[in-house]
Amino acid sequence: MKIRIFAILSLIAGSFAMASCIDKEATDDVLLSKDKTAIEEYLVANTIVNVKEFYDETSGLRIIWQEVSDSGMGVTSGDTLKVDYTGKLLSNKVFDTSIKQVAIDGGIFSSSKVYTPLDFPVGFNLLIPGFEFGVGQMEQGDKATVFIPSRYAYGQQGTNGVVPIPSNAPIMFELNLIVVTQGPQQ
């Protein structure tokens, strides 16, 4: 009897696993569509200075520049970037920032955190894909807001930070690309 129950439970579990594999692409498409709609609704409800815009229909990634520097210092893989950033949920709740006053105003200030621009090499997948993609489209001196669907942010896992990011939540980052230091030329 125990063997038969185990076999039935295994069969049921296998069926659920198979169904989830079959529906994963459809589920991802539904989530992406939901994220795109949420971002569009945010943009309709909120005024953002827009001097230049980029939108990729396939990924749903959107970049809206508030300032364009025309510095000519674009970003390539291997460059080291210095970026001030503020990460927000689409409710405008700040979940992370490199700017002390923004952390204080957003109610997330921590005396143990050093508030300085993020300094990182781009192209090594050290950050979420949407952040790297967004900053990669900018030039030194640009300021832009990047809207990121959940699959290019924190996905199904979300985060458990001071301000948790729910699973499958689209987010945005306000970015100020301060310095581009060229990496080795390939």
Please indicate whether residue 42 is annotated as part of the active site: no
Which residue of the set 96, 99, 152, 165 is catalytic? 96
Please indicate whether residue 85 is annotated as part of the active site: yes
Please indicate whether residue 105 is annotated as part of the active site: no
Of 122, 139, 128, 114, nearest to 81 by C-alpha is: 122
Please indicate whether residue 6 is annotated as part of the active site: no
Which residue of the set 152, 154, 165, 171 is catalytic? 154
Alpha-carbon distance 4 to 170, whole Å? Answer: 45
Please indicate whether residue 95 is annotated as part of the active site: yes
Please indicate whether residue 56 is annotated as part of the active site: no
**The three-state (H, E, C) secondary structure of 111-167, written as one string:** CCCCCCCEEEECCCCCCCHHHHHHHHCCECCCEEEEEECHHHCCCCCCECCCCCECC
Which residue of the set 95, 131, 133, 152 is catalytic? 95
Burial class of residue 179 in the structure, from the number of CB atoms within 10 Å of its CB (0-12 exposed, 13-18 middle, 19+ buried) = middle
> What are the structure tokens assigned to 130, written together?
């949407």
**Facing residues of 1 across strands?**
none
Which residue of the set 39, 42, 85, 99 is catalytic? 85
Note whether 85 and 120 are within 8 A (CB).
Answer: no
Q: Catalytic site residues?
A: 85, 95-96, 128, 154, 173
